[in-house]
Chain A
Amino acid sequence: MLDVRVLATARRFVVVAMLGACAAAHADPAARLDFDAARHLLVRTGFGPTLAEVDALVGRSREDAVDAILASARSEPFVSPPAWTATLPAAEERPHPGMSADERKAYRARERAALVDLRGWWMTEMRETPSPLTERMTLFWHNHFATGVQKVRDPRLMYAQNALLRREALGNFSRLLHGIARDPAMLIWLDGGRNRDGAPNENFAREVMELFTLGEGHYTQADVADAARAFTGFGVDRAHERAVFHPRLHDDGAKRILGADGNFGADGALDVLLAQPQAATFIVTKLWREFVSPTPDAREVERVANAFRASGYDIKVALRALLLSDAFWDPQNRGTLVKSPVELVVGALRMLPHDVAGTRAIVAATARMGEVLFAPPNVRGWPGGDAWINTATLAVRQQFLARATRTSTMAMMVPTQAGTLERLLLPLPPAGDAVSEALAEREPAGVIRAAMLDPVYELK
C-alpha cells in the first residue's frame, strides 16, 4: 500500500518538475510519445481513450501520431442514422393549417421522439466511431454554427445540417461556410427565408460576421446592412426539405462590404469575409481554445492562421499545426480544459461496458448537465469551459459517473494494472485521496470509480 502512495506522490513531483523544465522546450515533431503524451493527444482529439488506443500510439513520433489521427477522418457517419432521416414525410404527416388538435398533438409527439432518437444516434456515433476526432469536430462546428431545433422544429433538417457539419468536419472551412449559408436549418434559424429584396433581414448577415467568421469589432453596421442585401432571395421548401433561391426576391444591386465593391450575391459576400485575414485568426483562436488551452497565444495563433489561410482554409492544416505546436505538448497545458457534458459522458462510456446506461438515460443525463444536442441555448452556442461546472451540474456529473461505475456493470472489464488505469483516466494527479485508497485495494473497478469521481476527471 505504501509504495502505491509513494508512486502517486512521485508523479506529483514529476509534474511539478516538468512544469519548470518544459516551459522553454521546443516542439520536436520527431519526439516519441510516452504514455501520458499519447493519452493527452487522444483525450484532446477524441473522447476518453481506451488503454488499447493509448498503447497503440506509445513510441510513435508526434508527427506520425497526429497524422494517423487526421488520416482517420470521415465524412460519413459510422453508425447508420435513424431511417426516417432518409425519407420525406407524407404530406398528411406534415403540419398543415387543417390539422385537428389531436393530429397536431400526435405530430408533436412524433417530432419529440425523433429528436430523442437523433440525439441518441449521435451519441452512439461518438462512442463507436473509429474517428473520434471527426465527431469532436462535428460537435465543434455544431457549437460554432449553433442552430437550435427550438426554432427549426424539424428533426430531419437538423440531421441534414449535422451531415453537412460532418462532411466538412475536417474538410474545408470555405466550403463549410458556403454550405451553411444555404442550409435549410440555418435559413430558418437565422431568418434567411425572411430576407428579401426591399425588406432585408440582417440576422444571418450579422451573425455570419460576428460569430461565424470575424468576431465583434471587425465590421460595421453598414457592412451588415449590405451583406444582408447580398443574402436575399433564399427560402426553404418545407415540403421537399431543401433550400431554394428565388431570383426575383434577390437584391442584385451594388454593395460595399468591408471595403469591397460589387453586385455581391451570397457566395460573393462570403468570399469577401473569407478574404479578411481576421477570418483565419478568428477560427484558429477558437480551435486553440477547443484543443490546446484556455489562453491562446497570439503569435502562435497567427503562425497557424497563416498556414490555414495559405491552404485555402483546409481545416486539417490548421489542426495539424495546432496539434504539433509547442503549446499543445506543454505539460503545463494538460488538464486545463473542462470536458463538456457530452465528452464526459461519451468518454466514460467508452471505458465501460456498453450496457451501463440506455441511450435515453445518456441523452437525459447530458441535458441535465446543460448540453442538449441540437438545442444550443442561442446562436452563440454553449458558453463552455469553466461555465460547464456549477453546484448543480457538478453534482449531476458526479452522480452520473457514480452510477455508471457501479461494479456490476464493470464486472466484465479486462483486469488492468490499477496504476495504469489512474494514468489513463486522469490528466493530473488526483485532487482527493480516494484514488490512492483505491489503488491500495488493487481493485481495478474501484480505481476506475475513484478516478472518475475525482475532480480531475472533469478535466482534459
Chain B
Amino acid sequence: MTCDRRRFLRDCAALTVARFGAPLGLAGCATAVPNGSRLQAASGASTTTAQPHRAGYDRLLILVELKGGNDGLNTVVPYQDPRYYALRPTLAIARDAVVQLSDRAGLHPSLAPLAEPWRRGELAILQGVGYPAPNLSHFRSIEIWDTASPSDRYVATGWLTRTFATVPTPARFAADGFVVGSYDLGPLDGGARAVTLGNANSRAGHAMHAATPGSVHPEALAHILRIEADTERAASRMQDNVALKTAFPQSPIGNAARIACSAIAEAKDVAIVRITQTGYDTHANQAPTQARLLGELGQALVALASGLREIGRYDEALIVTYAEFGRRPHENSSGGTDHGTASVHFALGGRVAGGFFGAAPDLAGLSTGGNPAHVIDFRSVYATVLDRWWGVDSSSILGGRFAPLPIVRA
C-alpha cells in the first residue's frame, strides 16, 4: 500500500505539496510520516479525543466549487411562482422546460442528468444556503465560506485545515486533501496537507499561445506557459494509471472529475477532494453561459458518481457543491444577473437522504438590496460534514454550534 502511494506521488509530476510555511518536498509527502499517535486519531479507536467517531476519514468528502457565484434561481426554478417570471423577463426558464421535481420546483433543463439520482433518493437539494450580513465581494465572500467565519471576522485558516489540525487524518493517508482545478487551496489553506493536481480548469489556451509560431511572447513567458501546459498534461494523464470504465465528459469540470476520481482510486486514502468549476459570474448574457456550465456540471457529477461506484466508493462519498454567493433575483439590463446572497446547493452520494431542505427563496420578501435572506447557514452544511459524516465535533472548528442537516443516512 505504501508502495502504491509512493508510486502515485512519483508518477504525478503535477503534484505539489502545498503546505504553507513548512518546507516539504514531494518525497516528503510520502515519507514524512507523523508520529504514531496520529495513526488512530480518526479511526474510531481514537485515543486522542473523547469524541465518539463513527466513520472517520474513510468517508470521503468531495467539494465542488461553482466559482463566480452560480445563479441559484435558474438552477432550481420555482416554476409556479409568478414573481419569478416578473423578476426574470428574459432569463426565466419556461415552466415546460424545467425538469420538474415537485409541484413547485424544477431543475434547469441542463441539469437533466441529475433527475436519475433524484429518483433514487440520492440527491439532496439545499435551498437558501448563505450567512447573515452577506458580503457581495467575490473575494471576501469566498473567504468567509472557506474559513467558515462570521462575515465581520477575519480568520486565517480554512475550515478543513482547522478540522485536520483538531483531528488529524491517519498517517497512512496520502494527503488530507486533493485540490483539482485551482491554485487556491480554499478551505485547505493555512496548513492542511493539500496536494494540487494540475490546474485542469485553467488556461487551456495558454499552451496554444506558447505554440503559435511568430507569437510575440518573449521566451520567458513561452517557457512559463509550457510549464503550465506540462502540468495540465501530466495531471490529465493520471487517468492512465487507473483505467476507469466510466466515461467522463470532455469539459473542464469533466476533466477535473476524472482526475479526482482516478486520484482517489490510486491514492485511496484521502479525506477530501475539492474540484473547482469556473465561469459562473454571469453579469451579461447569462442564459447560454449558465446552460453550458450547468450542463457540464450535471454530466460531470453523474460521471463522478458512476466512477465512484466503479471503484467501490460511492457509498462512502459525499459530494457537496458550494459557491461564494448566488445571484440577484432581479435580472439586470444586460441579460445577466449581479452578485446576490443565498443560493441553492446540491449534496449527492450513496448515503445521501434525498429531498428538499431549507426553503425556496421568498421572492415576496427580498431585502432592500433585492436579495433573499438565507434559510440554511452554510456552517450547518459544514456541521453536517463534521458531525454526521466524519464524526468530528464541529463546534470548536466552526466557532459555535450549527445544527447539522438530516441529509446523511445511517
A455-B206 in contact (CB<8A): yes
In the complex, which residues of chain A have a beta carbon less than 8 angstroms from the beta carbon of B18?
395-396, 399
Give Cα A231 to B391, complex, Å: 70
B224-A389 in contact (CB<8A): yes
Chain A window 293-332, contacts with chain B (Cβ cutoff 8 Å), 1 for yes, 0 for no: 0100000000000000000000000000000000000000
B183-A453 in contact (CB<8A): yes
A389-B284 in contact (CB<8A): no
Q: Which of A189-197, A206-214, A244-252, A362-370 contacts B (4 or more CB under 8 A)?
A: A362-370
Give Cα A19 to B202, complex, Å: 29
* CB contact between B14 and one of A360, A365, A391, A402 (< 8 Å): that residue: A391
In the complex, which residues of chain B have a beta carbon less than 8 angstroms from the beta carbon of A294?
219-220
B316: interface (CB < 8 Å):
no
B223-A431 in contact (CB<8A): no
In the complex, which residues of chain A have a beta carbon less than 8 angstroms from the beta carbon of B185?
399, 402-403
A455-B23 in contact (CB<8A): no
Shortest distance from the beta carbon of A441 to any chain B beta carbon, whole Å? 7
A396-B16 in contact (CB<8A): yes
In the complex, which residues of chain B have a beta carbon less than 8 angstroms from the beta carbon of A453?
183
Chain A window 400-433, contacts with chain B (Cβ cutoff 8 Å), 1 for yes, 0 for no: 1011001110010000000000000000100111
Chain A window 425-460, contacts with chain B (Cβ cutoff 8 Å), 1 for yes, 0 for no: 000100111000100110101100100010110110
B288: interface (CB < 8 Å):
no
Shortest distance from the beta carbon of B237 to any chain A beta carbon, whole Å? 13
Determine which residue in A16, A403, A459 has the highest number of CB atoms from chain B within 10 A of its CB, and name it. A403
In the complex, which residues of chain B have a beta carbon less than 8 angstroms from the beta carbon of A174?
none
Q: Which of B51-59, B73-81, B132-140, B368-376 contacts A (4 or more CB under 8 A)?
A: B132-140
Residue in B closest to A333 when the chains form the complex, CB atoms: B218
Chain A window 11-25, contacts with chain B (Cβ cutoff 8 Å), 1 for yes, 0 for no: 000011001000000
A361-B20 in contact (CB<8A): yes
CB interface residues, A 378-400, toward B, < 8 Å:
385-386, 389-392, 394-396, 398-400
A19-B23 in contact (CB<8A): no
Residue in A closest to B14 when the chains form the complex, CB atoms: A391
Give Cα A441 to B227, complex, Å: 29
A1: interface (CB < 8 Å):
yes
A386-B14 in contact (CB<8A): no
A338: interface (CB < 8 Å):
yes
* CB contact between A398 and one of B138, B183, B219 (< 8 Å): that residue: B183
B231-A428 in contact (CB<8A): no
B228-A443 in contact (CB<8A): no
A129: interface (CB < 8 Å):
no
Give Cα A446 to B324, complex, Å: 14
Residue in B closest to A455 when the chains form the complex, CB atoms: B224
A403-B143 in contact (CB<8A): no
Shortest distance from the beta carbon of A428 to any chain B beta carbon, whole Å? 7
A338-B220 in contact (CB<8A): yes
In the complex, which residues of chain A have a beta carbon less than 8 angstroms from the beta carbon of B230?
391
A368-B224 in contact (CB<8A): no
Shortest distance from the beta carbon of B328 to any chain A beta carbon, whole Å? 15
Residue in A closest to B68 when the chains form the complex, CB atoms: A437
Give Cα A16 to B216, complex, Å: 8
A399-B20 in contact (CB<8A): yes
B196: interface (CB < 8 Å):
yes
Given A399-B183, A408-B140, A443-B139, A455 and B216 touching (CB < 8 A)?
A: no
* CB contact between A445 and one of B22, B139, B196 (< 8 Å): that residue: B139
Give Cα A455 to B24, complex, Å: 24
In the complex, which residues of chain B have a beta carbon less than 8 angstroms from the beta carbon of A367?
23
In the complex, which residues of chain A have a beta carbon less than 8 angstroms from the beta carbon of B266?
none
Give Cα A426 to B33, complex, Å: 41
A336: interface (CB < 8 Å):
yes
Shortest distance from the beta carbon of B127 to any chain A beta carbon, whole Å? 27
B174: interface (CB < 8 Å):
no
B139-A449 in contact (CB<8A): yes
Residue in B closest to A409 when the chains form the complex, CB atoms: B154
Shortest distance from the beta carbon of A405 to any chain B beta carbon, whole Å? 8
* CB contact between A386 and one of B23, B219, B283 (< 8 Å): that residue: B219
Give Cα A386 to B196, complex, Å: 22
B203: interface (CB < 8 Å):
yes
CB interface residues, B 203-243, toward A, < 8 Å:
203, 206, 209, 216, 218-221, 223-225, 227-228, 230-231, 234
Shortest distance from the beta carbon of A15 to any chain B beta carbon, whole Å? 7
A335: interface (CB < 8 Å):
yes
A177: interface (CB < 8 Å):
no
Given A364-B23, A403-B20, A443-B137, A385 and B220 touching (CB < 8 A)?
A: yes
A431-B206 in contact (CB<8A): yes
Give Cα A411 to B139, complex, Å: 11
B184: interface (CB < 8 Å):
yes
Residue in B closest to A332 when the chains form the complex, CB atoms: B218
In the complex, which residues of chain A have a beta carbon less than 8 angstroms from the beta carbon of B202?
432
A227: interface (CB < 8 Å):
no
CB interface residues, B 313-347, toward A, < 8 Å:
334
Other 4 A-B pairs with CB < 8 A, given A365-B21, A391-B227, A399-B20: A399-B196, A403-B189, A408-B140, A459-B224
Query: Which 7 A/B pairs are nearest by Cβ-Cβ distance?
Result: A395-B16, A407-B139, A408-B154, A336-B218, A386-B223, A361-B21, A398-B183
Interface residues of chain A, those whose CB is within 8 Å of chain B, are 1, 15-16, 19, 294, 335-338, 360-361, 364-365, 367-368, 385-386, 389-392, 394-396, 398-400, 402-403, 406-408, 411, 428, 431-433, 437, 440-441, 443, 445-446, 449, 453, 455-456, 458-459
Interface residues of chain B, those whose CB is within 8 Å of chain A, are 13-14, 16, 18, 20-24, 26, 137-140, 143, 154, 183-185, 189, 196, 202-203, 206, 209, 216, 218-221, 223-225, 227-228, 230-231, 234, 281, 283-284, 334
18 A-B pairs with CB atoms under 8 Å apart are: A16-B216, A294-B219, A364-B21, A386-B219, A386-B220, A389-B223, A390-B227, A391-B13, A391-B14, A395-B16, A395-B183, A396-B16, A398-B183, A428-B218, A432-B203, A432-B206, A440-B283, A443-B139
